[in-house]
Amino acid sequence: MTESAVSFVLDRLSAWIHEERQLLGSIGENAEFIRDELGHIRAFLRVADEKEDIDPQLKEWVTQVRDIAYEAEDVMDKFMLRFAGRRSEAFFGCIKQIYVSMKNLRARRQISSEMGAIRSRVKSVSKGQQRYKDIYSTSDQESGHAKSTWYDSRGDALLLEEAEVVGIENPKSQLIQWLSANESCGLKVISVVGTGGLGKTTLVKKVYDDPTVKMHFSSHVWMTVSNSFKLEELLRTMIRRLVSEVKQPPPQGLKCMDADEMKEFVYKFLQHRSYIIVLDDVWRVGAWEALRYAFPRSGAFGFIVITTRFQSIGHAASIETNGHIYNLEPLSQEESKTLFCRKAFLGGSCPSYLVEIVKIVLKKCEGLPLAIVVIGSLLATKNNNIDEWKKFHQSLGDELESDHMMRMIKLFSLSFYDLPYYLKSCFLYFSIFPEDYFINKTTLVHLWIAEGFVQPKQGKTMEEVAEEYLKELLDRSLIQLADTQDHTTSPIIVRVHDLLHAMILSKSREQNFVTIANGGGTTWPAKSRRLTIHGSLEGTVETNGCDNLRSVLVWDLAHPLSKLNLDKLLGSGSRLQKVLELKGAVSGTIPDEVFKLYHLKYLGLKDTKVEYVPKLIGKLLNLETLDLRDTNVTELPVEILRLRRLRHLFVYCYRGRRGFRFFDDVRGCKAPYRIGCLSSLQTLLGIEATQAEDTTIVREIGKLTQLKKLGIMKLRKEDGPDLCISLTKLTSLHELHIASNQEDEIMDLQYPMSPTAPIMLLNLRGPLQKVPEWIRSLHGLTKLLLRCSRINDDPLESLRYLPNLLDLELFHAYEGEGLWFKAEGFEKLKKIWLGRLNQLRWVKVEKGSMPFLREMHMLDCKLVEEVPLGIEHLTNLECITFADLSEGFVTTLKKQKEKGGSQWKLANIPKIEIDSLSASDWRTRRL
């Protein structure tokens, strides 16, 4: 974590020295010295970060380095606030005028003094670095010291008896089925993927030891790879085990063989054999790449079974051999309870007075076997004492730091310490969110960027780099995918396992990464850099001098903050804040204190009652994200055009209950006519298509060539040609939302667009004469929503050959009597909504159409009397919903089910729901 902080400050120092050299004067000399020394220290910090838990003195040294990095950042920001801000605002970059106009030289002397003090501290910690570097100079010393403080119990999974294991029957059966496949010869790789503690090693060991597997292969080898494997040692061990199994001596000169010679030996040994080799706990794709050519792919019949926490490793290893990937799932609720009772009550049943506490504990474990075993074993020592159990539950976060729980925490920590420096801060950032919180990907990405965690990469936007970070955390199984877009792997909502979240909180407190205020007398540490508020600020005690505060974030407040508390939040720091997330916390007007925050990059006002944006918004020259979703703001001031660094602007507002897709359930916002000057914009969602004398918003949009997401509302018919012209200029556009001015005003979008943008999501709301021709050329389109379109001709003919369409919604979009899904159409479609099609009487599905469809939903199609003809052809359909259809349809459906046989076309669909609307509430029945 300290490595991350130092790397961030080094990058900033280098840029600061380069950009402000003429302003810095003598300050620059100290800045260069600090930069160079921190650069030397950074090389050792990765080792120090890993070892600080076992060496209190080293831990103190690491803390000192981190504090120095933070202090250097503070000085830079104070300098920019004092001088660079004035240059930008008042003197238009004229350096000479800044020097002439300085009235307070004391501020400059103060900054110079602070840099000098930091220089002295850097000298001191540099001496300490050499001392610790000598101590931890050899890997033998490192491993020996670590082993003396913690027993690595991962190997115990190999010794568990079958009766001690819960919930492996189905995954074990699947793996054995793959291993027993009667295929002639060759090599296949099976990858078992899942987070630490999920039981991958235990499962594979039970499969490996199964008699049906043993008899299927002539050679069997189990190899633990681990994070710090050495190729030569791994190959020597593998060779010894291979030859030992057939009672042969190791080859002569094995100790002197290099890696290539040993791989050649393994290859020849296995050439005409059937074999199973397990590579347990693989942490690097390089480990597989270094070994893969040691295993013959012809003339033999072999399986490599890999266990790993990394999705990318599992995919890379299995895909090249046309093998299999098994994503190991957590235990079910019943399996979790069985395992827990086995450990906590020694196989007995749970006493009735502990049932509720057990439910809460198991909810936190979320089916993670290791967590269940560790916590269950610990609670077994409490002798079923309800008071002791309650104490444990109430202090679970503190208990995680106890010796009893160290096994689990260390297992999680392995993943944390393995993170590259640029991901450690991103991972710890999940501590700002409440437990079990569902986190929007877009919000998270923008926050990471504003905090300065994202490193620029040539040829990529900061947002693209941040999304790579997110995918890497997902790949490492450190965060979970809670929701996806269009059935792809692109995350929309992510979350963190509750116990992993507790570990993150522990690390975060230790590193003073964030202060969490949730009432109950929380005290803000004097050097708090981030303050996050969960639920309430009442009873919170702030310390004097929160001069280091960089971020204030509010989540899930029951009521907006009072003016007193807002003033306390915004006035407590030194105006260096970069992030201000006030979701639901503001009632009425935006406090003036906000507009004094020169460094502010992220301003979140979602779900507040703010009614207008004052002209002072023009002072926030560094603002990159402005979130005004679901506020009462209906017009933006012209001063917003001064924010030339603004990249993301959200101004739409949902009205009424979400999920009811009426024409006017979303309201937009008026924007200044010259909005095209905000050339950095990547997101512009919710503006209205207004017009001035000599220009229109839709023409200005063509100037925003960086746009990736665009939502425009109140489009008039005459705006259509200009909008189509502008869209041809937006060559990076991925998401497009268009809504007409009135429910009966046609959107004229029939004009050709060449080239077309790489749009993946298209949402058209309002009347169309027909499906625009240019939609056919959107080969990257994955999601299409046509709402209130009132098209007379069957739209499916225009859409059926979209090669990557996964999600289709037709809501009040078609006024014909029938929809015909023809063969070979919609080859990748996985989800379809047919809603409020008032004239629709029948739906026909030809064999070969929608071969991968998983979900079908029909809503408020009152004239439909029969299930879609040919629905039995949809062999992958998992769920079908009929909502608010006619009583005749429901009656017919029930009769068909009762008769069964050929009459019941839905027999192979696992989930069938009938929803009905009653008194504004939906009632769901399973059929």
| Segment 725-767, tens digit of pLDDT | 999 999 999 999 999 998 889 999 988 887 788 999 999 999 9
pLDDT confidence band for 183 (50 / 70 / 90): low
Distance of alpha carbon 91 from alpha carbon 720, whole angstroms = 43
Residue 414 lies in a domain: no
Helices H / strands E in the chain, number of each: 30, 30
Q: State the DSSP string of 88-153.
A: HHTSTT-HHHHHHH---HHHHHHHHHHHHHHHHHHHHHHHHHHHHHHHT-SHHHHHHHHHHH---G
- pLDDT for res 853: 95
The 10 Å CB-count burial string (b at 16+, else e) for 13-30 is beebbeebeebbeebbeb
| Final residue in a domain of this structure, among 505, 527, 562 | 505
Task: Give me the amino acid identity at 227.
Answer: N
| CATH assignment at residue 288 | 3.40.50.300
For Cα atoms 852, 856, 861, give the angle at the middle one, nearest 5 degrees. 150
Comparing 166-175, 409-418, 804-813, the range with the smallest average pLDDT is: 409-418
pLDDT confidence band for 88 (50 / 70 / 90): very low
Tokens for 214, please give them.
């043993």
Do 19 and 142 share a domain, yes or no? yes
Comparing 369-373, 628-632, 730-734, 789-793, the range with the smallest average pLDDT is: 369-373
3-class SS string, 54-69: HCHHHHHHHHHHHHHH
Residue 614 lies in a domain: no
The answer on pLDDT for 260 being more than 70 is: yes
- pTM reported for the whole predicted model: 0.84
Distance of alpha carbon 96 from alpha carbon 86, whole angstroms = 13
Distance of alpha carbon 226 from alpha carbon 732, whole angstroms = 42
Residue 555 lies in a domain: no
Q: What are 665-690's pLDDT values in tens digits?
A: 888 999 998 999 999 999 999 999 98
pLDDT confidence band for 150 (50 / 70 / 90): very low
Tokens for 833, please give them.
């909504």
- pLDDT for res 526: 66
Comparing 486-495, 680-689, 876-885, the range with the smallest average pLDDT is: 486-495
**Higher confidence at residue 402 or residue 358?**
358
Do 352 and 451 share a domain, yes or no? no
User: Which residue is associated with the tokens 């399996």?
Assistant: 335
* Contacts of residue 498, Cβ cutoff 8 Å, sequence gap at least 6: 363, 364, 365, 366, 435, 436
The answer on pLDDT for 213 being more than 80 is: yes
pLDDT confidence band for 21 (50 / 70 / 90): low
* Contacts of residue 499, Cβ cutoff 8 Å, sequence gap at least 6: 364, 365, 366, 368, 371, 400, 408, 412
Please count the structural domains in the chain.
5
Residue 376 lies in a domain: yes
Do 79 and 124 share a domain, yes or no? yes
The 10 Å CB-count burial string (b at 16+, else e) for 604-623 is bbbbbebeebeeebbbbbbb
Segment 188-204 shows an average pLDDT of 90
| Final residue in a domain of this structure, among 483, 505, 527 | 505
- What is the domain extent for residue 33? 2-149
Start-end of H helices in 180-230? 200-209, 211-214
Task: Give me the amino acid identity at 193.
Answer: V
Residue 780 lies in a domain: no
Do residues 308 and 283 lie in contact, with contact meaning Cβ atoms separated by under 8 Å?
A: yes
Comparing 391-400, 415-424, 604-613, the range with the smallest average pLDDT is: 391-400
Do 114 and 183 share a domain, yes or no? no
Comparing 122-131, 280-289, 426-435, 804-813, the range with the smallest average pLDDT is: 122-131
Q: What are 534-580's pLDDT values in tens digits?
A: 876 665 545 444 667 889 998 877 677 777 777 777 765 567 889 99
Do 379 and 314 share a domain, yes or no? no
| CATH assignment at residue 467 | 1.10.10.10
For the chain, the average pLDDT equals 83
Do residues 432 and 514 lie in contact, with contact meaning Cβ atoms separated by under 8 Å?
A: yes
- pLDDT for res 125: 80
Tokens for 698, please give them.
């839709």
The answer on pLDDT for 431 being more than 50 is: yes
Q: Which of 68-72, 303-307, 338-342, 754-758 has the highest mean pLDDT?
A: 303-307
Residue 56 lies in a domain: yes
Do 401 and 308 share a domain, yes or no? no
Distance of alpha carbon 375 from alpha carbon 399, whole angstroms = 10
Do 34 and 93 share a domain, yes or no? yes
pLDDT confidence band for 586 (50 / 70 / 90): confident
Q: Determine what percent of the chain is predicted with pLDDT higher than 70.
A: 84
Residue 857 lies in a domain: yes
Segment 371-389 shows an average pLDDT of 84
Task: Give yes or no for a cis peptide into 211 (omega within 30° of 0).
Answer: no
Cβ neighbours, 10 Å, residue 820: 18
Do 19 and 117 share a domain, yes or no? yes
Q: At what angle do helices 386-394 and 355-365 cross, to 10 degrees?
A: 30
Do 895 and 922 share a domain, yes or no? yes
Residue 802 lies in a domain: no
- pLDDT for res 182: 65
The answer on pLDDT for 140 being more than 60 is: no
Do 430 and 456 share a domain, yes or no? yes
Segment 391-408 shows an average pLDDT of 65
Q: What are 541-550's pLDDT values in tens digits?
A: 454 446 678 8
Segment 286-304 shows an average pLDDT of 87
Distance of alpha carbon 901 from alpha carbon 436, whole angstroms = 45
Do 213 and 135 share a domain, yes or no? no
Segment 319-327 shows an average pLDDT of 89
| Final residue in a domain of this structure, among 387, 408, 429 | 408
Do 212 and 299 share a domain, yes or no? yes
Comparing 456-470, 508-522, 601-615, 753-767, the range with the smallest average pLDDT is: 508-522
- pLDDT for res 135: 64
Pairing of strands 921-926, 439-440: unpaired
Do residues 800 and 771 lie in contact, with contact meaning Cβ atoms separated by under 8 Å?
A: no
